[in-house]
Amino acid sequence: MAELEFPNQLNNYLIFCNFKNSSIETKVLNLQTVSWLYPTTLLPLGVFIKENSKKIKYVPPANQNAANYISLVIGEFKVENGLKTYIPIIGLPPKVAEKDSEKFLEQIFKLHNNGKEYGGENAFKYLINELVDNIYQHSEFKNAFVMAQKYEKKGFVEICFFDDGITIPGSFAKKGMVFEDAESIIQAINGLSTKGKERGFGLGSNLKLFTKGLSGELLIVSGNGAAYFKGNEPTKLYKLRDNYRLQGTLISVRIPYPAKEVDIYDFIK
């Protein structure tokens, strides 16, 4: 299968698309054979299940552990105390209540022990802060969510952000900057900003810190475009067919765990 040649995170996004497309056609979301889903699949799928609970019948996995996990992750859109290895799907406060996002961020930091095992407190907070700020600054979302899962045996944490906003190409297009969707992701990484020349450092500095500082992996899906970055490997850009289109932006990061403390200032200049 050609899909096996794609990076894992992209494959996991495509799994979400396949479930979504099939359920729209059949009115049944059948997860019976599922034994595990990564956040890159589960975050957009969980939001889809929530939003379509009256239109589409949900058949949970036969595997009871998987069924319980999915139920727990998507059941409550709020942080619960005492969870050690994952953050369930939680919603960002809306733009008008952006002040409350400080509490939201504090919850994420707390549940990850302030990032001490993910490259250090400075690095972890920098990554999360810049990603969340980007969502508020550019996406014009109605709904935005985060979910994370730590895989201790596999040695990484996967953190996903998903918003249903105007997409990266849509944000550029509003200012008369028209690019192919995949190209627009690279333009954003390279620092082109819709808000002036002194802006636009967030995504690029995050990419350097993620991939070079922490040896992590980063997938960005927005509209009909996707981009995947890993270490010094060549950037992979994807033009997605309409049935793989995402109305919004999904950012999926994998950070090796535990990761040694990095000096962020080597990467964010």
Partner 1 sequence: MTLSSKIEIAKIISENLALRDLVSNFFDDLEKMKEKQITIDFKKVKSISRSFAQEYLTRKNTSKKDINEANVPENVEKMFEIINETEKRTPLIDLKTVKIICV
Enumerate residues 6+ apart whose C-beta is below 8 A from 193.
199, 200
31-36 long-range Cβ contacts below 8 angstroms, 24+ apart: 31/58, 31/59, 31/60, 31/61, 31/66, 31/70, 32/59, 32/60, 32/61, 32/62, 33/61, 33/62, 34/61, 34/63, 34/66, 34/70, 35/61, 35/63, 35/66, 36/66
| Residue 36 within binding range of partner 1, rule CB under 8 A | no
State yes or no: residue 183 binds partner 1 (CB under 8 A): yes
C-beta of 140 vs 183, nearer to partner 1: 183
| 109 part of the interface to partner 1, by CB under 8 A | yes
Range 1-21 burial, b when 16+ CB lie within 10 A, else e: eeeeebbbbbbbbbbbbebbe
Binding of partner 1 by 235 (CB under 8 A): yes
Count of residues engaged in binding partner 1, rule: CB under 8 A: 49
Task: Indicate the residue among 14 and 74 with the shorter CB distance to partner 1.
Answer: 14
Q: Which stretch binds partner 1 (CB under 8 A): 68-76, 82-90, 187-195, 254-262?
A: 187-195
User: Is 188 an interacting residue with respect to partner 1 (CB under 8 A)?
Assistant: no
Tell the smallest beta-carbon distance from residue 203 to partner 1 (Å).
Answer: 9
Number of alpha carbons in the 13 Å side-chain half-sphere of residue 213: 24
Beta-strand pair 144-151/156-163: antiparallel
180 makes contact with partner 1 (CB under 8 A):
yes
Q: Does residue 98 interact with partner 1 by CB under 8 A?
A: yes
Does 55 bind partner 1 (CB under 8 A)? Our answer is no
Of the candidate residues 1, 198, 232, 242, the single one contacting partner 1 (CB under 8 A): 198
- Contacts to partner 1 from residues 113-152, by CB under 8 A: 121-122, 125-126, 129-130, 132-133, 136-137
Given the DSSP bridges, would you call strands 246-256 and 217-223 parallel, antiparallel or unpaired?
A: antiparallel
CB 104, min distance to partner 1, A: 10
- The residue range among 35-43, 47-55, 59-67, 104-112 that interacts with partner 1, by the rule CB under 8 A, is 104-112
Give CA–CA dist 149/155, Å, rounded. 11
- Counting contacts by CB under 8 A, is residue 91 touching partner 1? no
Question: What is the distance between the alpha carbons of residues 239 and 218, in angstroms, rounded to a whole number?
Answer: 17
CA distance 176 to 71: 43
Q: Which of 54, 55, 153, 269 binds partner 1 (CB under 8 A)?
A: 269
Q: Which residues bind partner 1 (CB under 8 A)?
A: 6, 10, 14, 98-99, 101-102, 105-106, 109, 121-122, 125-126, 129-130, 132-133, 136-137, 180, 182-183, 186, 189-191, 198-202, 204-205, 207-208, 226, 234-241, 244, 265, 268-269
